[in-house]
Structure 1
Amino acid sequence: MDDDNNNIQGLLVVNCCPQITPTHGFINDILKQLNGDNDGQYVAKSINFGADASADQRRQLNDIHGYGVRIDNKYYSANVHLFDIVDKHLINQKFADCVEGVIVYYDFDHDDTCFDVLQSWQSFIDQFNNEIKLLVCNSIDYNCGNSSDKLMKWCLDNEFELVDLNPNTDDDDDDNDTDADDGRLEPFGKQEDGIVRITQAIHAHTWPYSSLKASPQYKPSDKFKDLLDKEVTGIITDDSDSPLKIDDNFGLVDNDMQCFSNLFAKFNDMKVKASQLSETDRKKFAEDMTIAFWKAIDGDEEDIEGLDDDI
């Protein structure tokens, strides 16, 4: 995946216990879920953010490695990087502008050590304008009151979402939302846990460098449009003592004020019907309704003369 350095965007990945759980394996699990590829192995590439930096910063910034991935869902596509950060070094503005969020890996089984490391990273993490903020644990034991409470308090104080990679749950897996087209997990479906939750957060983010996909305009079938027309005709005619009579273009034949009251009372139903139409049909429907209302209040015919001919 080739990127212009000016358009690079991504997330920091910070590992509080790299000696226990290698960051590479954790990042690969995320990339596999994003790509729907269980067998993929991904390699980080060095990214040069130090072109305009001092000599010392240039050396440090050249050590930043990013795992590139293509985000592609029904709404947009975008190139994103996961930056494997191992040192708390100074950053330059160019790199800071590329970062949209942070994922922190935390080993709950080594809570005492990891929590100290987490706190040591906090000042570095706070330098970025992070919109995605996830603290990911291998497994959380909520029976360990002090440890779990401490971790949750840190998340609340720092506005992080706590994600459990291996939650203890008896929920039925059949409830998972899937995409109707290809069976893949729907990234905007119900909230999940673990790696799936991480990828949902990545998909749901508004990436500054993304290509939006055109939303196909809904076009009801002729049969459905006929049913809608019959439904609205029934709404307007009603079963009241003074039924409102309409012609084929929804123009009122009877100008009685009771008919106007009936018509106005059903305005919201007409609005719902209009929302089901294409843009062209919706404009025609709006013009028909305007004529109907005008006639219902006994408006001057000359004011709408010729309007019917334009429909």
Structure 2
Amino acid sequence: MSTTQEDHASSPAVSGGVCNLINLTADFRPHSWIVDLLLESQKNNTPPTEKDDKNLGNGDSSSDKDIVQLELRTKYYNALVKLKHFSFVEDDTNKQRFDDTEALLMYCDGTHESLRRAQIVWQLAKENEPAVCLFIVDTTKDTVVDGSGEVTRTQILSWCLDNNFELVECDEVAEDDNGSDEEGGIVDIVGKGRILEALKSHTWSTMKLLDPPPMLANGNANQERKARTLGTESTNMEASMDSFEALFSELAVIKAKADNLPLEERRAYAEKIALSFYAAMGGGDSEDEED
């Protein structure tokens, strides 16, 4: 069962934790798919219907129909985020709508016009220093036709680097992506999935940390005990190595002394030195080890 716009309007207010999604495409193509994507983990919750004539607000930064409550869930925390989504309006200079903004998502296209709009929005929002800044495009081109109004991927990437944005190309596919992490390494998430991943990677002001499960807590305790044991063993090993190196440095003196001893005494002396080296290498004192 889906909810209506009135249901969203009646959702509890979220203090702080604001994510602004701005549609800057030249043809104002619908950006509702991004809202759907961000809400995919929330059952029985769908965003309000988008209209192409939605705009940046005409001074009203809290229109309920343009706000969706987003709950981000990870294995470490849950966070309530106020997702505001609008389309660009040329003469809107209201900086207050970006108050408490922790994430800024700009849905753009590969045109000079979209880059120009992105610069205007960024001038309004950058004073709030949002931690997550994404420049989202459907696709990019390595080469464009002169006079087409399009820009290359290099030009888009240059703008992103100059303004500390991450470029998200929705049609990008990870290299050697097999959908799993069999070797336990870090999997780079690209394309549309990177949008939600970037939001979950942020430390939101509204987040509530989750308690570790009991098994994990016990595992941590076991790891601490192992760490203490390894630390003791490491200390003992260092002491043994120091003793071994001291004996080894005196090997020439020991050999000279043994050469001047009678045969019977030389054999007993050699056994004594051998046991000293064995003890320095960590050998014990039990009868079996001596044998």
TM-score (norm 2): 0.59
Question: Are positions 1:164 and 2:175 aligned together?
Answer: no
Deviation of 1:90 after TM superposition, in Å, equals 1.4
Partner SS, residue 191 of structure 1: coil
- Contact preservation (8 Å) 1:70, 1:79: yes
TM-score (norm 1): 0.56
Q: Which amino acid aligns with 2:72?
A: I
RMSD: 4.5
Question: Are positions 1:191 and 2:193 aligned together?
Answer: no
Question: Are positions 1:150 and 2:150 aligned together?
Answer: no
Structure 1: how far apart are the matches of 2:103 and 2:70? 15
Deviation of 1:198 after TM superposition, in Å, equals 1.1
- In structure 1, the partner of 2:34 is 26
- Contact preservation (8 Å) 2:95, 2:125: no
- Return the index of the structure with the highest Cα Rg: 2
Deviation of 1:227 after TM superposition, in Å, equals 9.2
- In structure 2, the partner of 1:219 is 218
Percent of aligned positions that are identical: 18
Map of 1:1-311 to 2, 5 A cutoff? 2-4=11-13, 7-17=15-25, 19-32=27-40, 34-35=41-42, 41-43=46-48, 60-63=60-63, 65-86=66-87, 87=89, 88-92=92-96, 95-108=97-110, 111-144=111-144, 147-167=152-172, 169=173, 171-177=175-181, 189-216=186-213, 218-220=217-219
- Contact preservation (8 Å) 1:44, 1:67: no
Deviation of 1:171 after TM superposition, in Å, equals 2.5
Deviation of 1:97 after TM superposition, in Å, equals 3.8
Structure 1: how far apart are the matches of 2:223 and 2:63? 60
Q: Which amino acid aligns with 1:26?
A: I
- In structure 2, the partner of 1:286 is none
Higher mean displacement: 114-123 or 140-149: 140-149
- In structure 1, the partner of 2:259 is none
Residues 58-78 of structure 1 deviation map (CA, whole Å, 9 limit, x = unaligned): 962343621212111111111
Residues 151-197 of structure 1 deviation map (CA, whole Å, 9 limit, x = unaligned): 11111111101111001x4723325449x9xxxxxxx9522112211
Deviation of 1:226 after TM superposition, in Å, equals 11
Task: Name stretches of at least 5 consecutive residues in structure 1 with no aligned partner.
Answer: 46-56, 181-187, 244-257, 264-311
Task: Name stretches of at least 5 consecutive residues in structure 2 with no aligned partner.
Answer: 1-7, 51-56, 146-150, 245-276, 283-291
- Contact preservation (8 Å) 1:61, 1:91: no
- In structure 1, the partner of 2:54 is none
